[in-house]
């Protein structure tokens, strides 16, 4: 079913793109893009995002007594995040766990428990940003009566979802594999620290998008960019389309049109942000080569094996 949904969504979005995008005007705008600014500043924002994600993982692993060299964590995180941009539901991020497990540096239960908490934090943070941003924009675009009705609907929906989750029996938690996951080791202080780091990492994504759009002289407030990043992150994952191809371009165009940009510039913005994905892939490939070099040279052997790989 998810594959069928993904194929339908992909077909609809692709048809929309080829029928409505003004390709001649897009090409004209792209010719005047600040390429050097896009490459340098865009790459820096990606590297900083990877840095914060690596730092977050370092904190989570230390909380359960796993000590891994930060450089090794960084390389594994960079490569896994590169793969995750091309896989449905960003499932490629499990690569970092398997890479460290093969080096006898952690077991699967520790790795997947940290990844589970990371995913929960990401969902929590981007959901808060998306909801707050939606409420903010509705406040200025709706009359007062409609705003309060929609806000009440938001609150009711949240209460219903929480109530439903509390009533559902989480059967998967009773499996032996889940029982071995050391989620109990994450105290309030650790969760707070990684939540702050999570906000910082998503801020880097927003700054990266702002930089890319600035390269074609498209100026948006950082608040608008953050709202767009959070909303599209949710939409892209739920689309079940690998890399959110088509879905991302349509979503970006819709948001930029909503923010008052003309059609050609909004569509070019979608193309330029898709270019950032290519930049991620290139940087990921470079990191893979560097990781293989350092690993072969023995410079990543500052790690101590923790636990039994399974």
194's CB contacts (< 8 A; 6+ apart) are: 56, 59, 60, 117, 118, 121
In a domain, 211, yes or no: yes
In a domain, 264, yes or no: yes
In a domain, 263, yes or no: yes
Closest CA to 246 of 4, 68, 2, 10: 10
- Name the token pair of 216: 């074609």
In a domain, 79, yes or no: yes
Closest CA to 88 of 278, 244, 276: 244
In a domain, 225, yes or no: yes
Domain of residue 207, residue span: 34-131+188-297
pLDDT of residue 288: 93
In a domain, 181, yes or no: no
pLDDT of residue 309: 47
In a domain, 3, yes or no: no
Q: What is the pLDDT along the chain (310 residues), one digit of tens a residue?
A: 556 766 777 788 888 888 888 989 999 998 888 888 888 888 999 999 999 999 999 998 888 888 888 999 999 999 999 998 888 777 788 899 999 888 888 888 888 888 888 888 888 888 887 777 776 665 556 555 555 555 565 566 556 555 554 454 444 444 444 454 555 456 778 888 998 999 999 989 998 899 889 989 898 887 788 888 888 887 777 777 777 777 888 889 988 998 888 999 999 999 999 888 889 999 999 999 998 888 776 554 554 444 444 4
Distances in Å between the alpha carbon of 87 and those of 57, 91, 152? 21, 6, 36
pLDDT of residue 160: 56
DSSP string, 50-82: HHHHHHHHHHHHHHTT----HHHHHHHHHHHHH
In a domain, 276, yes or no: yes
pLDDT of residue 149: 58
pTM of model > 0.85: no
Number of structural domains (the chain) is 1
Backbone φ, ψ for residue 205 (5° rounding): -60, -45
12's CB contacts (< 8 A; 6+ apart) are: none
pLDDT of residue 176: 46
pLDDT of residue 174: 45
């Amino acid at each position: 079913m998810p594959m069928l949904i993904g194929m339908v969504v992909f077909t609809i979005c692709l048809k929309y793109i080829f029928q409505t995008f003004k390709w001649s005007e897009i090409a004209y705008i792209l010719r005047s893009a600040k390429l050097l600014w896009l490459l340098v500043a865009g790459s820096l924002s990606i590297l900083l995002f990877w840095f914060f994600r690596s730092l977050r993982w370092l904190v989570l692993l230390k909380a359960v007594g796993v000590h891994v060299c930060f450089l090794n964590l960084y390389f594994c995180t960079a490569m896994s995040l590169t793969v995750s941009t091309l896989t449905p539901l960003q499932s490629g991020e499990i690569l970092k766990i398997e890479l460290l497990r093969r080096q006898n540096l952690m077991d699967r239960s520790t790795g997947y428990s940290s990844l589970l908490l990371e995913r929960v934090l990401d969902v929590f943070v981007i959901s808060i940003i998306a909801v707050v941003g939606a409420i903010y924009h509705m406040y200025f675009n709706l009359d007062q009566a409609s705003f309060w009705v929609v806000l009440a609907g938001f609150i009711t929906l949240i209460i219903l979802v929480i109530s439903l989750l509390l009533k559902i029996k989480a059967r998967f938690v009773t499996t032996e594999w889940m029982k071995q996951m050391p989620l109990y080791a994450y105290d309030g202080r650790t969760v707070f620290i990684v939540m702050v780091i999570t906000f910082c990492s998503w801020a880097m994504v927003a700054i990266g998008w702002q930089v890319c759009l600035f390269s074609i002289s498209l100026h948006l407030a950082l608040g608008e960019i953050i709202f767009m990043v959070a909303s599209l992150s949710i939409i892209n994952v739920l689309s079940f389309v690998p890399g959110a191809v088509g879905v991302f371009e349509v979503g970006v165009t819709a948001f930029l049109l909503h923010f008052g940009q003309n059609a050609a510039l909004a569509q070019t913005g979608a193309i330029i942000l898709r270019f950032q994905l290519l930049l991620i892939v290139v940087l990921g490939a470079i990191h893979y080569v560097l990781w293989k070099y350092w690993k072969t040279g023995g410079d990543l052997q500052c790690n101590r094996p923790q636990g039994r790989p399974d």
